[in-house]
Amino acid sequence: MTAVAQLKTEAALAPFRYLDEAAIAAAPLQQDPYDYAFVDQSMPVQYKDEVIADAPKIPQRGTYGIPNLRYGPKFNAVLQDLLSPRFRQLVEQKFGMDLSPYYPTIVMMGNTSGHYNEGYAHPDSKHKILTVILGFSPEWPYERGRLRVLRSNSRDDPAFEFPPTFGKMLMFRVSDKSYHGFLPQKGQRMSLQFCWVDSKSYATKTYMRHALSAFAKSIPGVRQVVGMMPRKFRKGGE
């Protein structure tokens, strides 16, 4: 093995900075109503304040691509943990699948308005292979707004739910049955969605779509119109 190859191998196997490898590995794979795993605390609570302090500040509602956001080094370290071969291998082992041919995308939600359009039940795009949702909210004192693993395309048919607070992690294999969503609730709802997708072009389109949406939501009059539009027009059937 060359010196360069040795360095690459060591980097790939480097320990996580913030993710709790033991907690993620121990999370059982559930198969009802579809394949998913929940980690109650994927990052130790001792890191909560420093990571959240470095997280993106998102003043508007909706979801934004990571390339369009600013954040500090500690939050970036969490992203690097998620993007590492070490994390990918953990997920592969849990779900019994090979994710190496696929491309990562990361988007972030910062706030919700409580509008009925938010949190609608959906299974994720057919271009997504596996989705990881990671909570960053400092707290979530509401009954509504919890992420729901759904048995059907109704938000009122939950199999499991959890608040979007720091370190809560949901991983699921995307299929036509992988419905999830949440009941509308206004609040600082910080959560990150990390996906492996089937092509580099789809990853690029994802970031372009979120960039255009972010620009539209930065204009007050346009923001109101976008917020009232049906999801199929705003999200492109995602």
pLDDT digits (tens, 9 = 90+) for 199-225: 999 999 888 887 776 655 555 554 454
73-83 vs 85-95: helix crossing angle, rounded to 10: 50
Residue 40 CA to residue 160 CA, distance in Å, equals 13
Q: Does domain 18-226 have CATH number 3.30.565.10?
A: no
Q: How far is CA 216 from CA 61, 87, 96, in A?
A: 12, 34, 40
115 pLDDT higher than 70: yes
Mean pLDDT of the chain: 88
Q: CB atoms < 10 A from the CB of 160, how many?
A: 17
Residue 185 CA to residue 181 CA, distance in Å, equals 12
CB burial class (10 A; 0-12, 13-18, 19+) of residue 42? buried
171 pLDDT higher than 90: yes
Chain segment 55-105, per-residue pLDDT in tens: 999 878 888 999 989 999 999 999 999 999 999 999 999 999 999 999 999
* Reduced DSSP (H G I as helix, E B as strand, rest coil) percent helix, strand, coil of the chain, to 5: 35, 20, 45
Residue 199 CA to residue 102 CA, distance in Å, equals 7
Of the two residues 196 and 6, the one the predictor is more confident about is: 196
